[in-house]
Amino acid sequence: MYIAMIASECAPAAKVGGLGDVVHGLSQELSLRGHTVEVILPKYDCMRYDRILGMTKAHGDLWVPYHNQWYHCDVYFGQVEGLKSFFIETHSPQKFFDRRAFYGERDDLERFAFFSRAALEFLLRSQRHPDIIHCHDWQTGLVPVLLYEMYGRLGMTHPRVCYTLHNVGHQGHGGESILRQVGLNPGSLMTPDRLLDDTHGRAVNLMKGGIVFSNFVTTVSPRYADEIKHTHLGKGLQRILNVHQRKLGGVLNGLDYNMYNPEMDGHIPARYGIGNLAEKHRNKEALRSRVWLRHDFKPIVAYIGRLDYQKGVELILHAIPYCLGNGCQFVLLGSSLDSAISGAFWGLKNQYNDHPDCHLELGYDEDLAHLIYAGADMILVPSVYEPCGLTQMIGLKYGTVPVVRHTGGLADTVFDAEHAPKPYSERNGYVFNDYNAPGLESALRRAIGLWFHYPQYFRELMVNGMRYDYSWNHPGQDYLNIYQHIKAP
């Protein structure tokens, strides 16, 4: 099959969070199985250009209609760890992708609406006819709408669209004028069964457009698929998801074990696996040296991720003094676009500046993330909601025991050491239900207690986790089945 992935991220060249990992990992898996995959991304000025091989201009003459004008684009080709990737460079007066940031701009809606149109214009002009266009999240929600309403009439009748919801917390709301800017007719599209948002007055909802107009919709774990249909976690999309439930499925994300594998991870000083687990300790010592923690007989509890309301900021803030007060060290690596949250963590960082058992690293650091996964004993994921979550799966692979809240993909991947309805050998972490301090403490207390008092059992839990196969092997096949199901005859 010929698959075009249209997305706003692809690791490691353009990554903010899990979306980048997933676009990369799934594309890699499909390529390894012999399918042709091409990734189409915006050419951001802030990309990791050092991770793109052989970048060359592939098309110098792409003109994209936008807002009664034509914007000139150049399309570059390069390989991102072997993946064929196209980068659309936009010479618009607004300099859409020269902002030194991936997201968080006032005109994000315009930036990605334009990109969606440009990606289809590129496919049309370069006479590419993929069997499947796979697009992701609100940023590319307009792709199936444009394909159905406009590009089909221009001859692109072959591609079918699979649309993946990585997080319905961000849906791409805005004024209906955005539709006119990309050449669509708001008159016919701004209806309750199409792009009119169900809860924000007259707003357009790009994610809703993606859901309505694609041939198949997936989300990133079976439990999250259920939660967004039946609970407030659908954030206003519940009705439309139920209308389209026959084309909706939950496919658990995979992990790229070439990128996250302690047996061959080039970012860490000591490589290890189940057979030589004692080596993990060398990474713990290296982590302590790197972040100036004292070398002592204590477990390290870690948090890695965006510092966002979704991730359970209040509980992270609560966990730090709790862990320090209960004999642990704490390492945090995260960043935030929200100034209030960022301010709170900078305040805390100053407070703990000279603490021998605590380190907060506020920023994005791929290298340090790997060292933390390898060196920590436990990884905390106390999310309010979590579509899939990769950090707990990475933790499992690195023998770093996850302590998570029972929601979304966390509930699908972590099974409580004491209470899970599974054999002991399949239990792999600690889980709590209630989103509050007692809930969090109930899980942390048990995890910390096991580390101090029953090290042998703690080690078993680590090994159980390392045995899980959360690679792209199974989800890769699931996606191929979906593509096969919707593909044109």
What φ, ψ does residue 381 adopt, rounded to 5°?
Answer: -135, 85
| 4 belongs to the binding site for ligand ADP (CB under 6 A) | no
Part in contact with ligand ADP (CB under 6 A); list of ranges 32-40, 104-112, 289-297, 364-372: 364-372
Least distance to ligand ADP, CB of residue 9, Å: 9
CB closer to ligand ADP, 117 vs 284: 284
| 18 belongs to the binding site for ligand ADP (CB under 6 A) | yes
| 305 belongs to the binding site for ligand ADP (CB under 6 A) | yes
Q: Which of 168, 217, 331, 369 is the binder for ligand ADP (CB under 6 A)?
A: 369
Least distance to ligand ADP, CB of residue 76, Å: 25
| Angle, in degrees to the nearest 10, between helices 108-125 and 206-213 | 30
Pairing of strands 160-165, 132-136: parallel
Tokens 């353009």, located at residue? 14
What φ, ψ does residue 170 adopt, rounded to 5°?
Answer: -130, 115
Least distance to ligand ADP, CB of residue 469, Å: 18
Distance CA(163)–CA(137), nearest Å, equals 8
| 17 belongs to the binding site for ligand ADP (CB under 6 A) | yes
Distance CA(11)–CA(14), nearest Å, equals 5
Least distance to ligand ADP, CB of residue 242, Å: 25
Those residues whose C-beta lies under 8 Å from the C-beta of residue 261, and which sit 6 or more positions away, are 397
| 209 belongs to the binding site for ligand ADP (CB under 6 A) | no
H helices of 138-235, in order, are: 142-146, 177-181, 186-189, 206-213, 222-230
- Judged by CB under 6 A, the number of residues near ligand ADP is 18
- Cα within 13 Å of Cα(377), Cβ side: 25
Q: Which of 103, 364, 452, 468 is the binder for ligand ADP (CB under 6 A)?
A: 364
Least distance to ligand ADP, CB of residue 341, Å: 13
What φ, ψ does residue 364 adopt, rounded to 5°?
Answer: -115, 125
The token duo for 466 is 């390392």
Q: Which amino acid is at 313?
A: V
Residue 16, Cβ neighbours under 10 Å: how many?
17
Least distance to ligand ADP, CB of residue 253, Å: 7
CB closer to ligand ADP, 151 vs 345: 345
Q: Which amino acid is at 152?
A: G
| 78 belongs to the binding site for ligand ADP (CB under 6 A) | no
Residue 420, Cβ neighbours under 10 Å: how many?
16
Part in contact with ligand ADP (CB under 6 A); list of ranges 12-20, 109-117, 295-303, 338-346: 12-20
Q: Which of 105, 107, 226, 365 is the binder for ligand ADP (CB under 6 A)?
A: 365
Residues 377-436 that bind ligand ADP (CB under 6 A): 388-391
| 254 belongs to the binding site for ligand ADP (CB under 6 A) | no
DSSP states of 359-384: EEEES--HHHHHHHHHH-SEEEE--S
Least distance to ligand ADP, CB of residue 170, Å: 10
CB 203 within 8 A of CB 197: yes
Q: Which of 193, 263, 296, 366 is the binder for ligand ADP (CB under 6 A)?
A: 366
Least distance to ligand ADP, CB of residue 467, Å: 21
CB 411 within 8 A of CB 398: no
| 259 belongs to the binding site for ligand ADP (CB under 6 A) | no
Pick the closest to residue 86 from 14, 34, 166, 21 (CA basis): 14
3-state secondary structure of 287: helix
Distance CA(344)–CA(215), nearest Å, equals 43
| 306 belongs to the binding site for ligand ADP (CB under 6 A) | yes
| 233 belongs to the binding site for ligand ADP (CB under 6 A) | no
Least distance to ligand ADP, CB of residue 414, Å: 13
| 304 belongs to the binding site for ligand ADP (CB under 6 A) | yes
Identify the DSSP state of 468. -
Least distance to ligand ADP, CB of residue 104, Å: 14
* Greatest alpha-carbon span in the chain: 70
Binding mask 307-346 for ligand ADP (x = CB under 6 A): --------------------------xxx-----------
Q: Which amino acid is at 388?
A: C
Least distance to ligand ADP, CB of residue 318, Å: 20
| Interface with ligand ADP (CB under 6 A) | 17-19, 21, 304-306, 333-335, 364-366, 369, 388-391
